Structure 1
């Protein structure tokens, strides 16, 4: 029986050491047939990008070792006219997937090391007459990490020129996870420096390079063309929204069923779909390969494997720091309602915390949402968005729970929820006041961001009371009033209506609470619960002004 390829992304190792391989080799044919000179293929993490880049390398690279045996029995072997490209091109391959440093100096050192390793792989050039004395000096300085910054920025262009001159053949350039250093730079505060470096490096190798045969890049996002691919007119971008290449990243349903059968595991189609399916790539519905492989390794145990890999830090930051509108939409998503949003697949990182459009685009293209429907209007793309599966839902819920636990310990959180659902207003009031005070710096309640706190609190209720209560919320924009209704799953449990009222400095909390309770009565909220057969109902009026809070019940 073949070994499971957990974390194996080297194509040669996978093929030679008896690992299970899902044949995606016709990806090679698509790359050869592609008219564009440079192809960018953004896909979510752990969806097979590095393995595909590795497969391209072993197919195309011209070297002393014959790697044709690696493709024996694969679909590409049947495409005889494409085999003339096998082992025919000098090739540069860089991977930036492991660059995750917290400052620019360390990142720059890591970038130099990646480039130096690739130069060292081609050090046979130093023994040729293709390089003059000056070129050899710069080549050796790059390998020894002694070259100055401009020479590393020019490294792709320079190495491709030397390789083309030596082999008398144009060069293939493969770059894996090109945007990993950029994302890290955004999170750690050196975005400008890393963007400048990557822009110069990629432009040098891919723009107007007469020695380039074809360039293939993978990453998670399409960083806006004007930001990093400025002037690169030969670039084709195929995101997960496009039909092209939609079969080559992730696993198709028939491929998943075949894997389960091979390892003699009952293919529990409904559970597998519920946990790991739901990603829409072009016209295909695909499964997360990392999760499928780990699920099989654990003998079919369903749990959130993708959630436990690195890469969620930016998502956590965006959700935690997002405004009230984003949190309101997350409430809907977590309760199974889809939302329509405009999507822009050109990501400008500086817009992530300023434009909601960019946040939803980022979540979709990173695999944290799926587009169930797409339509264009006057050139603008609009998508119906939903959470793809239980595994991704787990990530959202974990992020929200973590926020709660930063402000309350586990025992306090349990007591707050218990006191609320059992009608112990005094205990609930004490703990709720603590949340408001500890969250003050998060949401700046004194400066008009009370909606942000309100929706964060409601998200917490949605997550923590899942299965026991349906949480419905509403707000009256501009009036500082927000209401929440907790509808119990069992009619013999307590139904809860909460009306939030933000009061100004010159108003009293007492008056705010009174108005909140009057609002509940005026809107006949009780009738909704009573029509559902729920007669035990708690009405809570909650007024707050900055850090000060008052809670009362009818």
Structure 2
């Protein structure tokens, strides 16, 4: 990747290792050979030049005003301006300041600079519900990135990553040669952990998990696969595990819902309610063309692009004619997604509904059908008689999977 095209874009769900990938690229371009000791890269790279690297992360902040973005950019640009002997400025001419920095770095080191942008879409996702603010932030970020195309002659590499795919016209209008590798087979496993890696590199950790939970080694492998595996990011993608959940599960020796417990974006929950999302097709799988899910988020007419790009849906299989079948990747996402929808299905207190599910599952595990029916009757009795304004989804209870 670092020796082919100049401009790259990759989107992946949250906590899938995008920031780790950006940091790896940073240290590689900074010539940190010591960090790649005993890895293939140590032998593949023979020069190990120390390029000037501009790494800009939009993660970690909340962008609810224009000033929030300005503060982030002033802080980072000011730091670089001092580093390269320029007078720090608090002006919002982001593109001019960034262009001067890139030229200063090139002149002072004699090497072409590298630009790495992590979570570029954080300001836009934070402002999804305030279109006027989002448009303002888009324009400000467009100013920042506008010099990158014209400076191509002195740039070594440009890499941008985020969760969602906003249209190039939104921010990167000048980067018409931006290579999107989000659905490229060659880079399908660039983030996350493949099933092959799990089975060949993590045997001791899997055995420890098995021992603690009274499972065989094969049983533990099967449980991990059902709970965290199942992601596919291209037509011929290998099976990819959610790295955040997998690593936590092996560390804690517990099969818990780690990824989903970190939170569902508020905007996603509201979109699901707005479009009255029915989870049944997600469970069974539904057909979609690529432009139905790998599409710009801000122009979407339904929540499918955001659900896919956020990691709640994935490619289950492919069909002729550039068609795909989308669905839940694994049990963790399935159960977490249904739990997130519970307030929409059941208007009553969420705690009461969670208690119902627990009691119902206990009855099924005890093989006590009458007890299970009692719980179902109690739940159904909560449905109001004046249901003329209720839609079909009100009567669909979330499914549990064991």
TM score, norm. by length of structure 1 = 0.62
1:360 aligned partner: 304
Aligned residue for 1:234, secondary structure, equals coil
Per the alignment, in what secondary structure is the counterpart of residue 281 of structure 1?
A: coil
Choose from 264, 268, 286 the match for 1:315: 268
TM superposition shift of 1:54: 0.8
Task: Determine the structure 2 residue equivalent to 1:340.
Answer: 287
* Kept after mapping to 1: 8 A contact 2:233/2:315: no
More strand by share: 1
- Say if 2:395 is the partner of 1:458: yes
* In 1: Cα distance, 2:223 partner to 2:353 partner: 34
Which of 306, 329, 351 pairs up with 1:388?
Answer: 329
- 1:291 is aligned to 245
Is the 1:94–1:118 Cα contact (8 Å) retained in structure 2? no
Matching of residue 71 in structure 1 with residue 36 in structure 2:
yes
State the number of aligned residues. 377
1:71-470 correspondence runs (5 A): 71-79=36-44, 82-84=45-47, 86-120=48-82, 123=83, 125-126=84-85, 136=86, 139-141=87-89, 147-150=90-93, 152-187=94-129, 190-239=133-182, 241-263=183-205, 264-265=207-208, 266=210, 267=217, 268-282=220-234, 283-299=237-253, 301-310=254-263, 312-323=265-276, 327-328=277-278, 330-333=279-282, 336-344=283-291, 347-352=295-300, 355-356=301-302, 359-375=303-319, 377=321, 381-404=322-345, 407-408=348-349, 410-411=351-352, 431-433=382-384, 450=389, 453-459=390-396, 461-463=397-399, 466=400
- Following the alignment from structure 1 to structure 2, what is the Cα–Cα distance between the partners of residues 362 and 285? 21
Please report how far the alpha carbon of residue 77 of structure 1 lies from its aligned counterpart in structure 2 after TM superposition.
Answer: 1.4
Is contact 2:345-2:395 (8 Å) kept?
Answer: no
Deviation at 1:393, TM superposition (A): 0.7
Return the offset for 1:258.
4.3
Instruction: Deviation per CA, 1:385-407: give whole Å up to 9, x if none.
Output: 11110111122111112335654
SS at 2:105 equivalent:
helix
Please list every run of 5 or more consecutive structure 2 residues that lacks an aligned counterpart in the other structure: 211-216, 361-370
Instruction: Report the CA distance shift for 1:285/1:204 in structure 2 as closer, same or farther (over 3 A).
Output: same
CA RMSD of aligned residues (A): 3.1
Relative contact order higher in (CA < 8 Å, ≥ 6 apart): 2
